[in-house]
Structure formats: structure tokens, C-alpha cells
Structure 1
Amino acid sequence: MITVAQRLQFEDVFPNEKKEDVVYYINKVSKETLLRTIGFCNTNPTTNFDNFFTNPVLQDDIFEKVIRYSKKNNVKEKPILISKYASLKLAEHILSNQKDFLEEPISIDEDELNLFKAFLVINTELNNNQKFDNLNSDNFENLVDLTLTFKFPESDLALFSNDGVEFLKLIYATIYKVDELFKFLNSKDDFVELKIEFLKSFNTESEEEFTKQMKFLFGKLLESKTTENYTFEVDDDTALKFLKSMTSENIKIDEDFTVLKNNPIYFLDEKLFSTVNYFFAVDKFYRSTKFKLKEIYESKEPLKRKYGNFFGFFNKNFSEDFLMKNLLDDIFHKKYFVKKPDTEKELDGEPDYYLRYEKNIFLFENKDVLVSKSLKSSGNIDDINSLLESKFVKDGKKSVGIGQIINSIQEIQDKKFRFDEAVNSDKKFTIYPILLIQDRIFQSPGVNYRLNDWYRSMAKEKLGTNYDKNYIKGLTVIDIDTLIFWAPYLKQKDRHFKEILIDHLKRMETHKKIYASTEQEALYRSNKNLIEQLSSISTRQIPFRVSTEDFVQKFKEVIVD
């Protein structure tokens, strides 16, 4: 369910006590407790105010304070103390102030109470950052705004608190994308130095060694998820060097955890390590790789002269023309699928990927979009809407994403489509527009709903009498990780992809009336309907799971008989 639980603040629990900053409290906690807390919170997200303390007397006292506050302020949902976001903020403070910590604890009670207060202070700061002044006045749109405000800033961590399936998917997709990246870097002599220096940044000398160490770490993380053991011991010198490349003694506070993302591993002693966040650790090998490659690329003048701006080069040459095209060609590999012809030079307004099967047309626009760290952490609905509009609708006077899709639909409806003459006949075709995104943050609840709302309005206005909702379907926003994860299922039957799109669009575009005999039942059904409409396609249930054999095959380099 989509729930908006209140974060406990310092004033809620200790209304008569002066609040200090986070560092004040963690400086009263022993170093070992602090370092272990990072990994513990990452592995045990259910820790809350009612199970935080070892001492039952102290636990009961805190519990009573929270209950008293909740009753006084009519707080119906159970408040939360620790979120993924709060855990990362605490990790930043701990890892950036290690030299000042106590070597020995004053007492277990003191350690736990000061940690508890540190979390409360962090929650106060996080709550103050969220702005609700400009929420949409319409009732349902207000709920969309509220969902985006709460969920968008945290969606690059995980969409759900129970993130096991998301984590499996991330590992599966990351292995695939890293493999494709190496194929791309091996495809031209121009990229040899780029690959060599990239490997060196991980203290590895070969693609094979890099892949082996990456998969070994992924295996350890999966083991940790299962056992809830958040520390790992490593004796192999090569593995230690590899892990050391992902650590830093110069952690700094940053609104988007930039330094933590680049250094997701930390050591408790010489050979004992843990991770600040499972998703950051996996993202280090692809999502964060883009910035390491940019750093190397910018030092290579011949590459810049030949290929221009790094992000233009990476997004077009790799994300679109290599990663996306290879994946979609593999999924839709049968000869009777009609695709746009290959040309030496891309034509103006050309779809990023085009597919026709029988009387169905699938129009893909690929978007590899960066979100500024200030926007992600702002919690401001106006900023989020402005980002969605500029990146996926129109950037100044230039149509992007949705705008390009509508232009292609207009060409098809006007019987002037340049990339498939067969659709310029008198036949009726059903068109499925698809926005393929490279970053999972745009699978945040409410993003597809809002973009589809804008797309429908624009399509009606531009197409006029040619607009027919029965043949021009709603917009589907799907991330490339989901396509990678679903690829085996999509290849089983030609109809599977269309069926998933139809089911998703029906759920997203259907407004259900609520009939209930009690207020509690009405609230339950309202929330259920909200989930149905605002959920991304990546969270829809499909009759498929990656087989154990297929998943295990991804780790063949590190499996020991």
C-alpha cells in the first residue's frame, strides 16, 4: 500500500529538552556502535521507536512518550523513526566525523539513547525540507502531488520497504548492462583507453577480473539480505584491493549522498567490511559508472573532438543506439516484426525505436535523464513537475519525449509516416506510445500517471478530429531494468508485451467509484484505487519469475562446485 507515515521528530518525543545538532549526539556514542549501526539499519529497516532499546525500562519510557504524543495530536498511523533516507543521513554524519568518536562506550543505554536522538534530529531536518504550499487544489490531483512529493526523492533507493524483489532485479539488470557496456567499449579502438582506465579505477587490470569481483560482491550482498548479517570478512588481497576502490576517508555531507554513492563500502577493521546501502553498492557498477567514465573521457582530447560532449556521446551512442537497440532487437527478434529501416544519418523526428506487428504499432522514445541532486532532495512539487515537463514534454521550443511521440502519431494519422510506408494505407492501426527511461527514479508512483495526463491533453489538442482514444493508447513509462528483467517472458509469446501494456493502462486510467459502509472501509478502498492508478508498470504483477537457473547462470564466474 502507498502509506505516508509520519517521521518522529525530536520535539515529538522530548518537547521540553533543547535540541542539539546530529554531531553533538553521535559524539557521545562509541565508534564501534556507530559503525555497526550503519550496516544494521541497512539490513534491518523495521527497527522503530518501539523496539530500539535493549533496556526494557528505557524502551517503555520512550514508548509512553510517543503514544502520549500520538494521542494528543490525533496521529492514527504508527510513526516511524528510521527510514532508508534517515539511515543514509546518519551514515554520512558518522563516516565524515570518525576521528572524534569515543573508543569505548559510556554505557549501552547512553549509546542507544544518543543514537535515538540523532535519528530524531535528522527526521526534523527531513520534514522541514518538504514543501506542501503549492499542492494541486483538485482532490485526486492533490493525492498525486502528495505521492510525488514523498516518493520521488527516495525512489532511487527502493520503491518499497520490502525491497527484496527490487534488489534481485537491480542485480540481474546491472550484470546485463555492465556486460553490454564492455561490449560497447570493445567495439571500437577509440574506446580502448577509456576501458583500461575505467578498470584501473576499481584496482583491476582486466574485464574478467572486474566481472569476477563484482559478482562476488553481489553474491555477498544477496547472502546478507537473506541472513541479515551485515558484516563480511575478506582475506583475498585482490578482493581487498577491489573493495578499497569503493571506500573513502573523505566522506562529506551532500544533499544527494553523492560521496556515499561513489564510496558505498566502509571497513570496520582491516578485513571486515560492510555497505552503507545495498542499492548504492550495486549502482556503483553501472549507475555511478557514467560519472567515472565522464571524468576519464574529459581527459581524452581526441575523443572529445570526435564525439563531442560526453553525455551526448554516452546517451546517444551507448544508451540508445547500443543498449536499448540491442535489447529491443533481442526481445522482438522475429522476422515478421516490422521495424524502421537503418539509415546512415538519423532523420529529423525519427522515433528512437519503431515496431509494427499486425495492426499494432509501438513507438519508443528513449530518455537517459539526469536529475539534479538539489531537485531530488527538495521535496518541492513545483520543481518535480517542472523537471518532468522539461525532460519529457518540451525543452523550451524543442519537443522531447512525449512531444516527439505525438509528432510521430500525427504523421501516422495523416498517412505521411516516413519510416513505414505500409501504415500510410487506409487500414486502422492501434498505437502504443512508450517512454523508455534509463533511470529507475522515474518509476516513482505518480510519474506515469502525470505524464500520461499531459500526453492525453496534448494529443487531443494537436490531433483534433484524428484523435481516437480507442486507437491511440495511453502513454506507458517503463524503465530499461524492467525490460531486461522481463525479457525472457516477453520473448515467450508475441502477445505478452501488448497484454502487459493494456493491463497497465487500464489500471492507470480507470477511476473507480467507492462504495463502502464504514469510514475505515472507504479509506482502505480509496488507498487501493490510488495504488492502482499511480503505480508504475514495473510494479505490476505479471505471471513470470526469472528462473533460479537463469539467475545462477549470471554468477558462473564465481560459483565453486
Structure 2
Amino acid sequence: MKFKLGVTFEACFPKEERKTLSDYLSGIQREDLLKMGSYFLGFNNEKSQYSDVTDFLNMFFSADNKDFATDVYKNLKTFVSQAGYGIEQYEIPYVGSSLLLFEFIFDNISEEQQTTKSNLEIEQDVFRAYVHLNQVAFTDRGIAEKKSDEESDIVYTPAQVLLKTHFHNNELINYRVDKLFTCQFLRAVSYFEFLSQIDKCQPLLKAFYKYYGVKDYNEYLRRLLGITYPVLMKDKESHTEIHLDNLDNEDFIDKHILSSNEVASELDFLTLRSKPLYKFEKGKYRIISPLFTIEMIYNGLYFRLKAINEKLSEDEKVSGLYGLKTYEYSEQYALDTLLQEIYGKRYYQKSGKELDEIMQGAPDYYVRNGKHTIIFESKDILISKESKQSTDFRVLRDELKLKLYENEKGKSKAVKQLVENIRKLLNGEADYDKNFPVKKGTIFPVVVVHYRMFNAAGLNNIVNGWFRNELEQLKEKGLDISKVQDLILIDIDTLIFNKEALQSRKLQLWDVLMEYQETYLRFDISKARPRPRSEEEGIEMLKSSFHPFSFFLDIKVEKMKFDRTPKELLEKAAPLFPE
């Protein structure tokens, strides 16, 4: 996972007073600024050559600005030496600043603004604007966090430190493109298949296909892939453009673009997420965010369906569309289908639908192989922008508790639901499995989440702490909890992406759950082998122990040399391209 320090304004210009973004971006025409903004967003999130400070400065500044760039580098070296870090631990590009820069340009720079600055001034001022945003993202945020910490008097655990530092931007910087695309495509197909089976959704689907000018979801996804294909195939770090040879596709793409009458800075980049490209000439488009372009396939699908659903007549409108997606689709159909495909007809299994018919408050999925039992709770939830971006850790912690522990009305959520189902198993009260071996049974509690934001370092440790505290109450009531394992958060993309490995039986889910908890959740630096050779190495080993399950499993499967293009992806894509 990526942990780097941002290069800030004060590090580059220690004697300058910061001005406003409007000051720095004045005197430069809007189209040039938008192109620069999308250029910053075109850098690779992994192994970018511009992660190196020197390479970035050499790329960004022209030869005529060499003296200016040299002064910036000297100032940065001085700042770094005083901070006690190596310059290799710093980088200039930061996706949060890139998104905010593009948003500001799109929302605030007039199309009438003309260029009055020289090329040298443009380079210098755009750079100042960028590191100004880094200053806001890193230094200013850090000052606000410190103030909140002093007010709260919280004594932070290492897991909490990592979570409060990285949760707000984790999903923007930690992802792999192949996994992201595979899962977005497969989830979109699955969602369309689900909706197609429901009678009340037919008017919505019909209106959706009519609006986008397609006959069915296969044609819709095929044409949508025409937008994402340039992102997947790009071979250089810069902005990505789409130039249409056939203008027949223009109307389709225009319905997915950010137009000049829309404001980009909605809830947590919501508009950019749903419309991550813009049109700069007839038949020519520029990708704003490669990440959001890929996530538009599935993550943006609900919002596009919702917009059309709201325009339907009352007798055709799908009531409870959000609940249909988060509960009936995500927590039942999607999870049931996925786990049934992973396990086939092996073991003792009960799907969410079957469990609901047997008893109230049952898990969302249940599987047992002899004495090994996995209890699944599924949560298609999000964390609000306010909590996600808050500099007060208590705000984030409290919302996470409401979503994963207990809500404001005292209703049990994932953690407490799992503990209650464990209590029933240990007491022989679980009607869905009367043969559970109470004395020998090993129980693995799992929470399946449906968004990558929950793959943040430290989060699993914190949620597992809540779980362990609840388990202690069962122990106090006389129940033997010695064979109850740690709670593990798994995002559904990780199960989808590694499904073939789990199907193969070369990898058993309970085995990797056990390995993860022993190697990560229960990591003890005093027992680490090999022993850390320095304090710095020890700190890095401790940080690594807080990696999410997704990071652990992806690497493990990679080392087993499984094909990272699942057969299912090829099978589901085939109908999109009939001969």
C-alpha cells in the first residue's frame, strides 16, 4: 500500500506568502487549465515515474525555467533534511490535489478568461497552485487534526493513527486497474441480470435503454467500454483523449460527460465519479479521472438508473430503488450467487434467502466444512463525505460505529449481529444448523463490504477490537469462545477477483482467514521472524501488519500464479461482441 509524504508550498517557497488559487490561475485561459488539470490526473497511481521529485520537476518545467526549478529543489532538500526524512519519501503528485484543482478550474474559471501570462509565468503559477493544494491536504489538515486530537484527549492506538491519517484518501490512491475493471464490469453485468428478473423494474430498464439509445444492457456496456478502453490501454502518463471517427456514438458519450452547466464539487466528487470526462471539441473528449472512468461502469450505474427512475410516472417508478440495490441485490443476490459459485455443492451451506425463511436475525450466508464454520454479514454501506474528510477522528469513528456496530436507535449492525449469531451457535439455538459441533467447532466471522473505501489500513483491527469486546461478554456468561476467530473485513471485489483461486481448492477461505489473522491482526513485533534489523525496519513491519485482507489475498494469489484475467470476465464479455 502507498504511504508517501506530499511536497507542500512552504517546502518549496519558504519565504513566500501563499496567495489564493484564483490569483495563481488568473491570466490563463480555461481550456489550457482544464488540459493541465486532466494531465495531473493521468499519472499512474502505482509506480509512476513522476513519483520521483527530480523526474517531476524535469518533466514539468521547461529549460527556460531551469533556475526556478533548481531553487525549488534546493528549498525542498533543506526542508526535508530538517524534517528528518529522505527526499525519496516525498512526492509532488497527489490525486486529491489533482481532483480539487480540476474541480476549481471547472467551477470557477470563466470561459471568457484569456491568457495574459507568459509560458514561464504559467508554469510557475500552476506549480504554486498545485503545491498550495498539497499544503491544504497535508499540512493544514495535519494542524486541524492535531487541534482535534488535543481537544479529544484520545490516546491513539497504531491502528487508529493509520486510519485517521489515510481513510479520507485511501480509495483514491490504493487500487490496481486490472482488479478494478474486472470487478466493475462483472458487478454491472450481475446488477443488470438481477434487475432484468424483476417485473417492476422493466419500465425502468426500458426507459434507461431508450435514453441511452441502446437495445439492451449488453449494447449499453459495449458502448460504455468504448469510453473506458482508452484508459485501460494508455501507455503513457498524461491526459487521455477520445477522438470519434464515427459521430454516431457522440450522443451516447455526451450523456456521460461533465457539461459546463454542472458543478463538479458535489458530495465527495460525486459528479466527477458519475461523469468523469468532458468534451473540448465536437467528437473529442478528455478523460478527467481514469479511476472514476472505470468506476463509472458499476458504481455510477445506480445513480444513472436513479436519475431516470425519478422521471418516470408514479405507476412505473420503482419504489425503494436504493433498498432494492443495497439489500435485495447486494446483500442477497450478489453475495449468494458469488459464494455459491465459490463453494459449488461442497460443504453445508445456507444462502441468505434460505436463512431468512428459517429464523429471524440469521446471518447473510453460512457455510460449514466439518468443524470449520464461516458466518457472513454483508453490508452495502457508505461513509459520508463529512465523516470521511473530517479532521476529527471521533466523527469518523462514530459513523463507522453507526454503520458497523450499532446505529443511533440501538439496532445491532454487523459486529453485534455476528456476536449474536455466534451466541446462538454456541448455545445450540441456531435452527439453520442443528449439527454444529459446539465443543469442537471453529467459527470465522466475516463482514463483506461493497466499497473499496473500507480497505483502509487499520480499520479491520479497530472493528475487530469492538468484536472482541462483545465476545468477552459471551465469555462472562459462561460460553467457551476459545475457538471463535477474529472478525475479518472482506470487500466483495476481492472475493470476485480471486474467485477462481478459491474455487480451485488450492486455496481454502478458512485457511487464508486463519493465516491473515495470525500474520496481521495478531502481529507481535517481539515474535517477528526475521527480526527487524533497525527501529525503522520494525516500524515498517508494524505498519504492514495493518494492511487489509484484500492486500494480503491479492498478493498471495499472485504468487500462486493464477491468471489475473478471470475466465468469467471473458465469458460475460462475449455476448457484448456477437459475431
TM-score between the two structures when normalised by the length of structure 1: 0.89
- Aligned CA distance change for structure 1 residues 517 and 237 (closer, same or farther; 3 Å): closer
Match of 1:143 among 158, 164, 182: 158
Q: Distance in 2 between matches of 1:518 and 1:14?
A: 42
What is residue 499 of structure 1 aligned with on the other side? 511
- Aligned CA distance change for structure 1 residues 344 and 2 (closer, same or farther; 3 Å): closer
What is residue 454 of structure 1 aligned with on the other side? 466
Matches within 5 A, 1:87-102: 87-100=98-111
Structure 1 gap segments, 5+ residues each: none
1:177 correspondence with 2:174: no
Q: Distance in 2 between matches of 1:451 and 1:338?
A: 26
Q: Distance in 2 between matches of 1:236 and 1:342?
A: 50
Query: Comparing 470-479 with 118-127, which one deviates more in the overlay?
Result: 118-127
1:267 correspondence with 2:282: no
What is residue 215 of structure 1 aligned with on the other side? 225
- Aligned CA distance change for structure 1 residues 472 and 535 (closer, same or farther; 3 Å): same
Q: Secondary structure at the match of 1:528?
A: helix
> CA contact under 8 A between 2:446 and 2:488: conserved in structure 1?
yes
> CA contact under 8 A between 2:38 and 2:102: conserved in structure 1?
no
What is residue 92 of structure 2 aligned with on the other side? 81
Q: Distance in 1 between matches of 2:427 and 2:198?
A: 41
Deviations 1:282-320 (A, max 9, x none): 22222122233334445554477xx85433232111111
- What amino acid is aligned across from residue 168 of structure 2 in structure 1? P
1:224 correspondence with 2:234: yes
Q: Secondary structure at the match of 1:96?
A: helix
- What amino acid is aligned across from residue 475 of structure 1 in structure 2? L
- Aligned CA distance change for structure 1 residues 157 and 315 (closer, same or farther; 3 Å): same
What is residue 494 of structure 2 aligned with on the other side? 482
Matches within 5 A, 1:5-154: 5=5, 7-45=6-44, 46=48, 47=50, 50=54, 51=57, 52-55=60-63, 56-77=66-87, 78-100=89-111, 104=115, 106-127=117-138, 128-130=140-142, 131-132=145-146, 133-134=148-149, 141-154=156-169
1:421 correspondence with 2:431: no
Q: Secondary structure at the match of 1:114?
A: helix
> CA contact under 8 A between 1:515 and 1:522: conserved in structure 2?
no
Q: Secondary structure at the match of 2:454?
A: helix
> CA contact under 8 A between 1:514 and 1:522: conserved in structure 2?
no
Q: Distance in 2 between matches of 1:547 and 1:436?
A: 22
> CA contact under 8 A between 1:367 and 1:438: conserved in structure 2?
yes
- Aligned CA distance change for structure 1 residues 186 and 517 (closer, same or farther; 3 Å): closer
What is residue 530 of structure 1 aligned with on the other side? 543
1:377 correspondence with 2:389: yes
1:327 correspondence with 2:335: no
- Aligned CA distance change for structure 1 residues 492 and 265 (closer, same or farther; 3 Å): same
Q: Distance in 1 between matches of 2:319 and 2:456?
A: 32
Structure 2 gap segments, 5+ residues each: none
- What amino acid is aligned across from residue 403 of structure 1 in structure 2? K
> CA contact under 8 A between 2:7 and 2:92: conserved in structure 1?
yes
- What amino acid is aligned across from residue 270 of structure 2 in structure 1? T
Q: Secondary structure at the match of 1:145?
A: helix
Q: Distance in 1 between matches of 2:502 and 2:464?
A: 23
Match of 1:315 among 315, 322, 326: 326
Shift in Å at residue 30 of structure 1? 4.0
Match of 1:440 among 452, 461, 466: 452
Q: Distance in 2 between matches of 1:500 and 1:518?
A: 24
Query: Comparing 470-479 with 546-555, which one deviates more in the overlay?
Result: 546-555
> CA contact under 8 A between 1:150 and 1:379: conserved in structure 2?
no
Match of 2:292 among 264, 280, 285: 280
Match of 1:509 among 517, 522, 530: 522
Shift in Å at residue 279 of structure 1? 1.7
Match of 1:157 among 172, 175, 179: 172
Q: Secondary structure at the match of 1:257?
A: helix
Number of aligned pairs? Answer: 551
Q: Secondary structure at the match of 1:273?
A: strand
> CA contact under 8 A between 2:348 and 2:367: conserved in structure 1?
yes
RMSD, matched Cα: 3.1
Match of 2:209 among 199, 203, 211: 199
Q: Distance in 2 between matches of 1:409 and 1:193?
A: 43
> CA contact under 8 A between 1:327 and 1:484: conserved in structure 2?
yes
Q: Secondary structure at the match of 1:157?
A: helix
Q: Distance in 2 between matches of 1:14 and 1:226?
A: 30
Shift in Å at residue 526 of structure 1? 1.7
Shift in Å at residue 431 of structure 1? 0.5
Q: Distance in 1 between matches of 2:349 and 2:527?
A: 44
TM-score between the two structures when normalised by the length of structure 2: 0.86
Match of 2:407 among 395, 398, 403: 395
Shift in Å at residue 226 of structure 1? 6.2
Matches within 5 A, 1:521-560: 521-540=534-553, 541-542=555-556, 543-548=560-565, 550=567, 555-556=573-574
Q: Distance in 2 between matches of 1:68 and 1:244?
A: 48
Shift in Å at residue 25 of structure 1? 1.3
- Aligned CA distance change for structure 1 residues 466 and 518 (closer, same or farther; 3 Å): closer
Q: Percent identity?
A: 21
Query: Comparing 453-462 with 357-366, which one deviates more in the overlay?
Result: 453-462
Q: Distance in 2 between matches of 1:517 and 1:208?
A: 52
